[in-house]
Each structure stands twice: as structure tokens, then as C-alpha cells.
Amino acid sequence: MRLDHLVLTVRSIDATVDFYRRAVGLDVVTFGDGRQALQVGGQKINLHEAGHEFEPKARHPTPGSGDICIVTDETLDAVIDRLVQLGIPIEEGPVARTGAVGALLSIYVRDPDDNLVEIANAR
């Protein structure tokens, strides 16, 4: 079994794409009839703009209700340097955490919708 995709409801797809591309280093993919998603390894994060969600959808889609963890091969020092340059505050970390398949070293930031984004290295 595997996770194929998940959905984030956001206020602005453009702002979300810009943040995840620049701050986190994710690739953006276009699919269907021009929809955008964020590529995370073999999975993706589909984006629904609040008030213009695709059916079917969550019962109460709300920007800012997400809490996700993205494991990167990039060093956390490099990620932290980029976040500082972009003026994105780090809420917590680096801290030791436990992920789905083992130990992580993580930092936490907020995206434009205030979703909590954990950026981690496997340890």
C-alpha cells in the first residue's frame, strides 16, 4: 500500500506554489485541465483554492488546517540558510523526531496559509 496524493485547501494557489517551490524546493506539476500540484517523491500534494474546490472534497475544507512533513535529501543547514534569505521564520528546530520509517532531524515553518510544514532529514 502507498499514499498517492493528499489535498491542501489554500487561499491562493499561486502563493502556495511560490512558497513550496522557493522555500521547500518542491517541483510543481500541471495535470488535468491546468491544475497544479506539488511533487513530493512519488506522491503529490494537490491544491484546491478555497471556495473553488474540486468535487468530491473534504466536508470542511479549510486553509491552514494542514500539518505535513517533507523529508529532503538537502542538508537542513542549506534549507535553513535559504529560509533565512527568504525571511521565513523557523518556528522550531532543529529537533529530533520520529518519522514513518525512522529517526528525523526536523525544522518547522508555516506556509502562506499557516499550515505547519515540517522539513526533515532522515537520520
Q: What are phi and psi of 95, to 5 degrees?
A: -140, 150
Burial class (CB in 10 A: 0-12, 13-18, 19+), 36: middle
Q: Is 118 a catalytic residue?
A: yes
pTM: 0.95
Helix (H) or strand (E) holding 106: strand 103-110
What is the model's pLDDT at position 73? 96
Per-residue pLDDT of the chain (123 residues; tens, 9 = 90+): 999 999 999 999 999 999 999 999 999 999 999 999 999 999 999 999 999 999 999 999 999 999 999 999 999 999 999 999 999 999 999 999 999 999 999 999 999 999 999 999 999
Q: What CATH number belongs to 5-122?
A: 3.10.180.10
Query: Annotated catalytic residue: which of 53, 55, 92, 118?
Result: 118
Q: Which three cell numbers stand for residue 42?
A: 512519488
Question: Domain locations in the chain?
Answer: 5-122
